[in-house]
Amino acid sequence: MMFTRLMESLAATESLSRVFSDGNVLQAMLDFEAALARAEARCGVIPAEAAEHITRAARAEGFDVGELTRLSLRAGTPAIPLVKMLTARVRAADESAAGFVHWGATSQDAVDSALVLLLGQCRDVLRRDQERVLQALRRLSGDHAGTVMLARTLLQPAPPITFGLKAAGWYAGVRRGWERVASRFDESACVQFGGASGTLAALGDRGMPVGEALSQELGLKLPDAPWHGHRDRLAALMAALSIYTGTLGKMALDIALLMQFEVAEVGEPGGNGRGGSSAMPHKRNPTACMLALGAAKRSPGLLADFVAGMVQEHERAMGGWQSEWTLVQGIVQGAGVALESMVEVVEGLKVDAARMRENLDATKGAVFAEKAVVLLTPELGKEAALRRVEEAIGGTGAPPDLPGLTTPEDYLGCAEEFRRRLLGEH
């Protein structure tokens, strides 16, 4: 069964589309309602038998999702028609139990708590690919610790580095990005439960005990108070995911540039429909990198919209939090498609070390001009050394002929130390 819509085919992964599928979103809201009933029964607020009926009825199977979607647009929230549908289902089994559905809660409690539950599922999906990309990048860096190549600054040739160092830079950026994301997932994993005005007044002196029991039922943290109008935790997570996606996009851009015909130093893995052209059979396009870059370009705009929506009125917003579902889905899916794409790229990346050396040699030693100045300075002084090297390059396109000048392995500085430090091996 397909969960990704055609319109989202370049912006979503199948695994995350499953998380955000209609049935799964519906089940997350129903999980809140069932957990609330069990928590209230544990605290003596509602009869245990009522909680059992509510829990049995809170299964997505049999709900008319199309009708729920239509009614949600009319109601301004899916929680209102959902509670009515759930109540009707409970009533069919037990009339008295139906009156305890959604007891003491408000619509936003169900919607926000469901979103947090869905984000927890997203975290599990992303974590698996994160582990794969780190493992592949570490291996790639180790395999090419001594593979010399041109550095490129402002897209122009610069003194040599190693491909192992470049891969280690990608590794460290992705690792730092995930550490931020993981910490923000932790911070935002809070149940939403405040009732009509965020005071749980309908539950009297049982409000806090029910909140604690509800958080335990859902496996979420109980915040100091409801956060209906305070979206900073979610905003911080969206920002971390956007930065993470940007880091993956930087890696994708580096690889795509190295794949250009004129450079040809690396290549994406092909096959299974990846990288072809409908008009030019000779092409091997950096398709996976393209998808990651597309995600990195979308994410900042979605994040800006989310942050704009943080400015919310009083205890319950009108339009602010209602805009979040599509933004959250877009940002999370962007991170997911960028990550999944780059896992495929890095695990199967073809590295042409010989071509890297050819491109370095094609500069005729010009990229060692800095080294030539360093070698000549003790004898001529820095200004005279600079003039001498500039004159040589201007006339021949190459620096002065000095012993060992153009041996790249002799001008790598701290490259290997930096590589190991980036991998956490120092």
The angle formed by the CA atoms of residues 130, 135 and 136, to the nearest 5 degrees, is 100
Phi, psi dihedral angles at 189 (to 5 degrees): -80, 60
Annotated catalytic, 21?
A: no
Strand ranges, E, within 54-178: 148-153, 156-162
Distances in whole angstroms, Cα of residue 342 to Cα of each of 239, 250, 334: 20, 11, 12
Q: Which of 5, 128, 277, 421 is catalytic?
A: 277
Q: Is 198 left (phi over 0), alpha (psi -120 to 50) or beta?
A: left
Q: Which of 139, 316, 357, 388 is catalytic?
A: 316
Distances in whole angstroms, Cα of residue 361 to Cα of each of 353, 366, 398, 408: 12, 9, 11, 9
Please provide the DSSP assignment of 202-260 as one string.
GGGGGHHHHHHHHHHHHT-B--SS--TT--HHHHHHHHHHHHHHHHHHHHHHHHHHHTS
Nearest to 382 by CA among 391, 392, 372: 372
Annotated catalytic, 176?
A: no
User: What whole-number distance in Å separates Cα of residue 76 and Cα of residue 318?
Assistant: 10
3-state secondary structure of 152: strand
Check if the beta carbon of residue 121 is closer than 8 Å to that of residue 17.
no
Please provide the DSSP assignment of 32-53 as one string.
HHHHHHHHHHHTTSS-HHHHHH
Active-site annotation, residues: 277, 316
